[in-house]
Amino acid sequence: MEKRTFLTKKRKSMNNLKKHPSSFRDPSGFVFEYEGKLYRQVNKHYADDYDLLLSSGLYDELLKGGKLIAHQALQQNLTGSNDWYVTLLPEQIQFISYPYEWCFDQLKDAALLTLDILQISLKHGMVLKDATPFNVQFVNGKPIFIDTLSFEKYNDAEPWVAYRQFIECFIVPLVLSSYKSTDFIRQLQLNPDGLPTSFAAKLLPFKSRFRLSLFLHIFLPSNISTRKKNASSARHTSFSKQKMLNIVDDLQSLIRTLKPRRLYSVWNNYYEETILSNDYLQAKSILVTKWLNELQGNIAIDIGTNTGAFAVDASRRYKNVIAVDTDELCIDELYKKCKTGRRENILPLWVDITNPTPAIGWANVERAGFISRLNADLVMALAVIHHLVIGSNIRMKQVVDIFKHITNLLLIEFVPEEDPKVAEMLERRADIFDEYNQQHFETSFSEEFNILKKEVIKSSSRVIYLMQKK
């Protein structure tokens, strides 16, 4: 009888419990969702290392510096697993982003954070056993390490076990972004486990071999990995903490000197070079601020944020603002602006809304797509509609459908056909003219949304709408 109650209990709890699809590679534990919250189970296998993380003072030091996500330890076996040691309830992250959605400086800061954590860990007799950018998230404008189970006891006779992973996941994309183009950040979407050093060695200019750090961390490994037979003798050579610190130090100074190289940027001088008048921008800003003042909520997303002027307005009323743009330079500028300008609740991401990040990884569920991660209270799409409908040939109805799917409230600007910018775009696109007019815009959106407010922006023919999903 007793056994049966236990079984029903267990089944009941397992029903509300969903193992996170990205958490299976590490035998130390796993992440699961339970009653709307994410938990992390620590397995018995990892018990000693977990205890050491706390008893060595490493956890406290990392927490104090805001470098590691805080958690609450629960003595409650929610999964009913035999392997259970402790359950952690980490501080919940509002929006998970992936490295291939970051700008250069976000990836750079995530790399420096990882090395910083490694240095602190060594001080406490522990080491990072993995070093992937997927272990870093951006919270309050700063990178933070989220994998509490990445630490293990340090053995100073061994080199860094995650060295190769660090090189392939951070150094190679950063170096290629610096020598070739920041487009290589996106390569992490195709190679989420890292870009091989041999790949970088073939693409980098000849002169880069003469830079000591690049020679040691890219050209040397690429050469050795093709001649694996010679490598086994290295296992017998002992290592030391000082040697490891020298390597970390060299990696840090390499990363700090890297500067992004961009082959093109379309949008970064938008506000300076725009044909739009200052009066229009000012009137729009006043109007948007006025409307935003009556709203508030948890998550707002600003589509086509440019350098984030309106995302900043939204960040005063919404706890989290996700600001996306197709231009990496804009996102990088916004990231740096938010970092120094106390706009910590804005998360700038390099995402193209016409081609949002797909779901990737094992079974196509390991890393979720951008749209499926979104659940916004407000979507702002200011001066975007003409790029979608005319620039990318997306039908008005499709635009309505996607907004309906991701938000409750919509702040959207319609740029009419007589607007100089749209007229320019429409010049060679007579075919699309029937679809693109204010009447069609309003009827399409009215099918799914109630128009709450509507106002023409002064000194322009553009109109702003506030709509609520039906």
Give me the residues that bind other proteins (CB under 8 A), please. Answer: 25-28, 129-130, 152, 159-165, 167, 212, 216-217, 220-221, 224-225, 228-235, 237, 239, 243-244, 246-247, 249-250, 253, 257
Q: CB-wise, 47 or 224, nearer to other proteins?
A: 224
Nearer to other proteins, 82 or 230 (CB): 230
Q: Which is nearer to other proteins, 245 or 309 (CB)?
A: 245
Residue 30 structure tokens: 């796993």
Q: How far is the CB of 375 from other proteins (least distance, A)?
A: 33
Shortest distance, CB of residue 372 to other proteins, whole angstroms? 28
What burial letters (b/e) apply to 400-427, b meaning 16+ CB within 10 Å?
A: bebbbebbebbbbbbbbbebebbeebbe
**Minimum distance from CB of 189 to other proteins (Å)?**
20
CB of 35 to other proteins, least distance (A): 29
Instruction: Give the residue with the Cβ less far from other proteins, 179 or 441.
Output: 179
Of 109 and 130, nearer to other proteins (C-beta) is 130
- Count of alpha carbons within 13 angstroms of residue 98, beta-carbon side: 25
Q: Which is nearer to other proteins, 217 or 343 (CB)?
A: 217
Report the residue number, 153 or 395, with the smaller CB distance to other proteins.
Answer: 153
Give long-range contacts, CB 8 A cutoff, 24+ apart: 15-21: 17/78, 17/79, 21/361, 21/362, 21/363, 21/365, 21/366, 21/368
What is residue 91's DSSP assignment?
P
Q: What is the DSSP letter of 68?
A: B
Output DSSP code: residue 95.
-
H or E segment and range at residue 290: helix 278-292
Strands (DSSP E) along 102-245, which ranges?
Answer: 126-128, 136-139, 142-145, 151-153
Integer Cα distance of 32 and 82 in angstroms: 16
Q: Shortest distance, CB of residue 441 to other proteins, whole angstroms?
A: 52
Q: How far is the CB of 216 from other proteins (least distance, A)?
A: 4
CB of 104 to other proteins, least distance (A): 18
CB of 416 to other proteins, least distance (A): 51
Q: Are 107 and 174 in contact (CB under 8 A)?
A: yes
What CA–CA distances, in Å, run from 375 to 118, 404, 450?
Answer: 34, 11, 19
- State in angstroms the smallest separation of the CB of 266 from other proteins: 30
Question: Measured from the CB of residue 221, what is the shortest distance to other proteins in angstroms?
Answer: 5
Of the chain, the end-to-end C-alpha distance in Å amounts to: 51
The per-residue DSSP string of 338-402 comes to: HHHTT-TTEEEEE--TTSPPPPBSGGGTSB--HHHH--EEEEEETT-HHIIIIIS---HHHHHHH
For residues 226 and 222, give the distance between their C-alpha atoms in angstroms, rounded to a whole number: 7
Smaller CB separation from other proteins, 28 or 268: 28
Looking at beta carbons only, is 8 or 257 nearer to other proteins? Answer: 257
DSSP, collapsed to helix, strand or coil, labels residue 57 as: coil
Name the CA radius of gyration of the chain, rounded: 25
Considering the complex, state which of residue 12 and residue 243 has its C-beta at the smaller distance from other proteins: 243
